[in-house]
Amino acid sequence: MSADGLHHPQIVAVDARVDPAACRSMVEVRQGVDALDRALVALLAERQRYMDAAARIKPDRGAVHDDARIEDVVAKVLASAEAHHLSPAIAEPVWRTLIDRSIAHEFSVYDRTRS
């Protein structure tokens, strides 16, 4: 939270990189991928902090795994993927794995903070 008492989302800056359509060498492609990977790690770390908050807030362990929420998240991701021209063959398995690992992390945090 900032000094004004409001939560301002963290903006993850992506290093300067060549647009993929303008890449002329594998060096440019790899630099772009590496820059995006750094940004993705920062975003995933922030997402993990929300899982930490969920583990702190949820009233019981049974609330950690929520099938309806999983399907809601996947549906939203697939809609966003389509809008951004990301293949659903990439988006869906990546997010299902992310959700699975996030739930495992949340269980771990939940158990550690309540024992």
- One-letter amino acid at 38 equals R
pLDDT tens, N- to C-terminus, the chain (115 residues): 455 455 555 555 566 789 999 999 999 999 999 999 999 999 999 999 999 999 999 999 999 999 999 999 999 999 999 999 999 999 999 999 999 999 999 999 999 999 7
- Which domains does the chain carry? 20-114 (1.20.59.10)
Instruction: Check the annotation: does 71 bind a ligand.
Output: no
Instruction: Check the annotation: does 76 bind a ligand.
Output: no
Instruction: Check the annotation: does 30 bind a ligand.
Output: yes
Which pTM value belongs to this model? 0.83
Count Cα atoms within 13 angstroms, Cβ side, for 12.
Answer: 14
